[in-house]
Amino acid sequence: MSDRIEWAYFAKRRNIDLLELIKSGQCNSYEELCNICERYNVIPPSKSEWQIQEAQAFPKIKTPEPIEKSEKTIEEPVSKTLSNSKKKKK
């Protein structure tokens, strides 16, 4: 049986991008990646490298907190009219 090869070499040789592999859904978990690597006799990347790539592939979106609606103030109509304010002084 041959020696296992490093993930970096395997990925470069096969033109595999871990980020694209995750985004495409071809590999949904680290365990699944390890199974694929075992099949090809490859040493998988570290779990921390997987987590970094997964975080980049699926960033957490912060949802804004709902804005509390304030009570609407009812404005009283203005009693002055333009004609009342311009009365001529004698």
Q: What is the pLDDT of residues 40-84, one digit of tens each?
A: 999 999 999 999 999 988 887 877 777 777 666 666 666 666 665
Closest CA to 27 of 16, 36, 38, 14: 36
pTM of the model: 0.61
In this predicted structure, the answer to whether residue 4 has a pLDDT above a threshold of 70 is: yes
Mean pLDDT over each residue of the chain, to the nearest integer: 83
Label residue 15 exposed, middle or buried (CB < 10 Å: 0-12, 13-18, 19+).
Answer: exposed
DSSP assignment letter at 29: S
What residue spans define the domains of the chain?
5-57
